[in-house]
């Protein structure tokens, strides 16, 4: 059983999602970039949650060639927002 001290508070997820929205407002990002820049352990799940909340987040598949010649597929996430939504996100209040 997880003790309350090791379980993140529910608001931590909300702040993570706000950081992801703010990051995607600035520019598109890969899952790896969202993980690093937003301190999010599972950015793909957070993106899905944000989509269910009505945010228009697009995914473009990129193909990267690793040093060993193998090809990996990476998602590039982008956020489509209106000017009013962008201003609200930058203030940390979510979308209108």
> Which CATH topology does 10-90 take?
Arc Repressor Mutant, subunit A (1.10.10)
Lay out the sheet containing 71-80: strands in order across: 29-30, 71-80, 56-65
SS3 content of the chain, % helix, strand, coil (to 5): 45, 25, 35
Reported as a single tens digit per residue, the pLDDT across 4-31 is 444 444 567 788 999 999 899 899 999 9
Reported as a single tens digit per residue, the pLDDT across 33-90 is 999 999 988 999 999 999 999 899 999 999 989 899 999 999 999 999 777 777 776 6
**Residues in contact with 43: Cβ distance below 8 Å, sequence separation at least 6, in sequence order:** 20, 31, 34, 35
Domain spans, the chain: 10-90
| pTM given for the model | 0.70
Element (H, E) at 63: strand 56-65
């Amino acid at each position: 059983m997880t003790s309350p001290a090791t379980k993140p508070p529910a608001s931590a997820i909300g702040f993570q999602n706000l950081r992801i929205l703010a990051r995607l407002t600035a520019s598109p990002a890969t899952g790896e970039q969202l993980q690093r820049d937003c301190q999010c352990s599972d950015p793909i799940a957070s993106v899905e949650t944000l989509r269910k909340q009505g945010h228009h987040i697009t995914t473009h598949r990129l193909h990267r060639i690793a040093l060993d010649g193998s090809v990996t597929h990476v998602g590039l996430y982008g956020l489509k927002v209106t000017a009013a939504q962008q201003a609200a996100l930058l203030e940390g209040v979510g979308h209108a």
